[in-house]
Chain A
Amino acid sequence: MTAPLKDITPAERARSTSFYEASARTRLELLLDAGSLIEFIGPEQREVSPHLKIFDLPEQFDDGIVVGRGRLDGSPVFAAAQEGRFMGGAFGEVHGAKLTGLLRAARQIGSIPVLILFDTGGVRLQEANAGELAIAEIMRAVMEARSAGVKVIGLIGGRSGCYGGGGLIAGCCSALAVSEPGRIAVSGPEVIETNRGVEEFDSRDRALVWRTMGGKHRRLLGAADVFADDNVQDFREAALELLGLVGPFGLDALKAEQERLADRLRRFGACSDAVDIWTTEGIAHAETVPELPADQFIALADRIGRTSRDAR
Chain B
Amino acid sequence: MEDLRFQHRVRARAGGTRRSAIVGVVASGNLEVLVERILPDAECAVDIKTAAIGFGEVWTAVIGDFVERYSPGGLKFSINDGGARPDTVSLRLAQAVRLIAENGQ
Contact = CB atoms under 8 A, between A and B. Distances in A.
Helix, strand, loop or mixed for chain A's interface? loop
Contacts of B26: 58-60, 86
Contacts of A58: 1, 26, 49-51, 80-82
A56 B78 CA distance: 18
Nearest 4 Cβ contacts at the A-B interface:
A85-B27, A60-B26, A85-B25, A43-B22
Contacts of B71: none
A59 B47 CA distance: 14
Interface in A21-70: 23, 25, 42-44, 46, 53, 56-62
B22 A61 contact: yes
A117 to B, nearest CB: 15
Nearest to B31: A58
Contacts of A53: 1
B30 interface: yes
A44 B35 CA distance: 9
A109 B36 CA distance: 33
29 contacts: A25-B22, A42-B20, A43-B22, A43-B34, A44-B34, A44-B36, A46-B78, A57-B1, A57-B51, A58-B49, A58-B50, A58-B51, A58-B82, A59-B49, A59-B80, A60-B26, A60-B32, A60-B80, A61-B22, A61-B32, A61-B34, A61-B78, A61-B80, A62-B22, A83-B25, A85-B25, A85-B27, A85-B30, A86-B27
Contacts of A46: 78
Interface residues of B, number: 17
A146 B34 CA distance: 36
B3 to A, nearest CB: 11
B30 to A, nearest CB: 7
Interface in A174-205: none
Interface in B15-56: 20, 22, 25-27, 30, 32, 34, 36, 49-51
Interface string B47-91: 001110000000000000000000000000010111000000000
A23 B32 CA distance: 12
A111 B5 CA distance: 47
B78 A86 contact: no
A44 B80 contact: no
Contacts of B49: 58-59
Most buried by B among A23, A42, A58, A60: A58
A57 B81 CA distance: 10
A86 B22 CA distance: 15
Contacts of A61: 22, 32, 34, 78, 80
Contacts of A85: 25, 27, 30
A46 B76 CA distance: 14
A115 to B, nearest CB: 20
A61 B26 CA distance: 9
B62 to A, nearest CB: 18
A134 to B, nearest CB: 19
